[in-house]
Amino acid sequence: IKEISMIVILIASSLLLSCSTGEVEKENHTHALVFDPSTSGTFYVGTHYYLEKHATDSIERVGPYGEDYMGLVISQDGTFYSSGHSPTIPNVGIRKSTDKGKTWQILAYEGLDFHDLAVSYADPNLIYAWGTPPEERLVISRDAGRTWSEVSTSFPTVLYSLAADHQQSSRLYAGSLTGLLISDDFGRTWNENNILANTTVLAIADDPAREGKMYLSTYQRGILVTEDDGKTWQEKNTGLDFSQEPLLMLAIDPGTGELYGVTRHNSIDKYKGASWIRV
């Protein structure tokens, strides 16, 4: 019970569940790191105050200052989706950008807060969003955000992350306080990976090139990888002090296959060769 309480406190503070535009904060913080599959070698960092573009030899701020980007994802065709806050709208619901984050259009659920989104690479029209308590809900769009519906489902525990499988359009993953949850019917029903029972899953990165390969960031065991669809798992922690700085976000460069992570203190690490390095 003591360990579970510590985990809840850590994640609640690190995932910034209390973000709001009414707060005055001394430091910015990171909400997402995501690669643009339509532009090789480019990733974006969504923060509490702005969107940042990282290219091969440059870093630039995108869009207006003061925008918050929760659950930022980029589809296979380069469309951006996110939730978050803005200076004029406390909770923007779900929005999209077709010009690489420069301007945004609200699609649905204005007034609600969604902390995690997932887009299917097998079907870029398929988008999921997970709403935080007290409006806890899973919603889905099958037409690239034009229409949405609520998925009738329930989860046995607290969720921390959401990810769509790259090769199977009907498969969705959820990281939770007590393990990895898997749905093969678009989020309606869920099964738990028994090997990871009682392992807190903070972040999920499904491999864009190889079916059955996935990385997890966990509280108890650091970074885990499976190459056989979750039957076996290996630790990948060389160079990473996950007990002090757990990775709260994971992302895979679709061009190189390299794994990136963001620590609870907003640093970016990369798994290069056989070890983690600070980038």
Quick: pLDDT tens for 77-133.
Answer: 999 999 999 999 999 999 999 999 999 999 999 999 999 999 998 899 999 999 877
CA dist., res. 120 & res. 118, Å (int): 7
Q: Is the peptide bond before 134 cis (omega within 30 degrees of 0)?
A: yes
Name the amino acid, one letter, at 43: F
Question: C-alpha 205: how far from its chain's center?
Answer: 8
The pLDDT assigned to 7 comes to: 56
Phi, psi for 9 (deg, rounded to 5): -65, -45
Q: Beta-carbon neighbour count of residue 160 at 10 Å?
A: 25
DSSP state of 165: -
Q: Edge-to-edge strands of the sheet including 114-119?
A: 114-119, 127-131, 137-141, 149-150
Residues in the chain where the model's pLDDT stays below 70 = 1-26
First vs last C-alpha separation in the chain: 36
Task: Name which of 42, 55, 124, 119 is nearest 82 in CA terms.
Answer: 119
The pLDDT assigned to 179 comes to: 95
Q: Is the dihedral of CA 101, 102, 105, 111 positive or negative?
A: positive
Q: What length does the chain have? A: 279
Assess contact for 63 and 114: CB atoms under 8 A. Answer: no
